[in-house]
Chain A
Amino acid sequence: MATWFLKSRSVLQCVKTRAGLHQIICNRSLKGASLHSKALQLEDDLDYSENEAWYFPGGAVPFTSKINFIADSSEERIHCYRVLDNSGHHMLSNTSKLISKELAVQLYSSMVTLQMMDTVFNEVQRQGRTSFYMTSHGEEAINIASAAALSNEDIILPQYREHGVLLWRGFSLQEFANQLFANKADKGKGRQMPMHYGSNKHNYITVSSPLGTQIPQAVGVAYSLKMEKKDACVVTYFGDGTTSEGDFHAGLNFAAVLEVPVIFFCRNNGWAISTPVTEQFRSDGIAVKGRAYGIPSIRVDGNDALAIYDAMQEARKIAIKEQKPILIEALTYRVGHHSTSDDSTKYRAREEIEQWKADRNPISRYRNWIEGNGWWNEEQESTLRGSVRKQLMNAIGVAEKAERPALTDLFADVYHDMPTNLQEQERSLTETIRKHPQDFPSGFAVASQI
Chain B
Amino acid sequence: MWGIVSRTAVNRGFSVSKSQFRCLVQGARNFSSKEMTVRDALNSALDEEMSADPKVFIMGEEVGEYQGAYKITKGLLDKYGPERVIDTPITEAGFTGIAVGAAYHSLKPVVEFMTFNFSMQAIDHIINSAAKSNYMSAGQISVPIVFRGPNGAAAGVGAQHSQCYAAWFGACPGLKVLAPYSSEDARGLLKAAIRDPDPVVFLENELLYGESFPVSAEALDSSFCLPIGKAKIEREGKDVTIVTFSKMVGFALKAAEILEKEGISAEIINLRSIRPLDRATINSSVRKTNRLVTVEEGFPQHGVGAEICASVVEESFEYLDAPVERIAGADVCMPYAANLERLAVPQIEDIVRAAKRICFRSTSMAATG
Contacts and interface: CB of A to CB of B under 8 A. Distances in A.
Contacts of A200: 137, 140-141
Contacts of A414: 134-135, 173-174
A425 to B, nearest CB: 11
A253 B174 contact: no
Given A200-B141, A250-B91, A413-B134, A210 B105 contact: no
Contact of B95 (A34, A213, A216, A221): A216
B174 A415 contact: yes
Given A188-B136, A221-B101, A413-B134, A246 B128 contact: no
Given A200-B141, A253-B94, A217 B81 contact: no
A369 to B, nearest CB: 37
B65 interface: yes
Given A192-B136, A251-B94, A223 B107 contact: yes
A227 B93 contact: no
B129 interface: yes
A218 B98 CA distance: 7
Interface residues of B, number: 50
B262 interface: no
A224 B105 contact: yes
Interface string B73-109: 0000100011100111101011111111111111101
Interface in B29-61: none
Nearest to B144: A416
Contacts, number: 157
B81 to A, nearest CB: 7
A198 interface: yes
A220 B138 contact: no
A206 B133 contact: yes
Interface string A243-256: 00011011101100
A413 B276 contact: no
Contact of B101 (A34, A218, A227, A246): A218
Given A188-B136, A206-B137, A416-B197, A254 B94 contact: yes
A250 B90 CA distance: 9
Given A189-B138, A247-B94, A413-B134, A220 B104 contact: yes
B102 A205 contact: no
A253 B97 CA distance: 13
B93 A246 contact: yes
A191 B102 contact: no
A220 B198 contact: no
Contacts of B270: none
A248 to B, nearest CB: 10
A430 B99 CA distance: 38
Interface string A221-246: 11111010000000000000000001
A250 B135 contact: no
Given A217-B129, A416-B197, A257 B77 contact: no
Given A220-B97, A254-B98, A419-B229, A187 B138 contact: yes
A225 B102 CA distance: 9
A82 interface: no
A220 B98 contact: yes
A313 interface: no
A31 B94 contact: no
Contact of A157 (B87, B101, B139, B279): B101
Given A32-B81, A247-B93, A254-B89, A415 B176 contact: yes
Nearest to A198: B137
A270 to B, nearest CB: 26
B136 A254 contact: no
B124 A224 contact: no
A199 B141 CA distance: 9
Contacts of B100: 216-217, 220
A330 interface: no
Interface in B115-162: 124-125, 128-129, 133-142
Q: How large is the interface on A (under 10, 10 to 19, 20 to 34, 35 or more residues)?
A: 35 or more
A155 interface: yes
Contacts of B303: none
B107 A32 contact: no
Contacts of A319: none
Nearest to B88: A254
Given A31-B82, A414-B174, A217 B101 contact: yes
Contact of A191 (B91, B98, B136, B176): B136
Interface string A402-432: 0000000100111110010100000000000
B79 to A, nearest CB: 12
B170 interface: no
B124 A213 contact: yes
Nearest to B131: A414
A12 interface: no
Contacts of B279: 421
A415 B198 CA distance: 6
Given A218-B101, A415-B176, A227 B107 contact: yes
A413 B135 contact: yes
A198 B137 CA distance: 7
A219 B98 contact: yes
B70 to A, nearest CB: 21
B64 interface: yes
Nearest to B65: A34
A299 interface: no
A196 B107 CA distance: 24
A215 interface: yes
A208 interface: yes
Contact of A220 (B82, B105, B124, B139): B105
Nearest to B125: A213
Interface string A126-162: 0000000000000000000000000000010100000
A225 to B, nearest CB: 7
A396 B20 CA distance: 77
A257 B86 CA distance: 11
A206 B129 CA distance: 10
A210 B128 contact: yes
B138 A215 contact: no
B168 to A, nearest CB: 18
Contacts of B142: 416
10 contacts: A157-B101, A198-B137, A206-B140, A215-B97, A221-B101, A224-B101, A253-B94, A254-B89, A254-B91, A416-B198
Given A155-B105, A250-B94, A254-B91, 6 more contacts: A31-B82, A198-B141, A217-B98, A217-B104, A250-B95, A415-B134
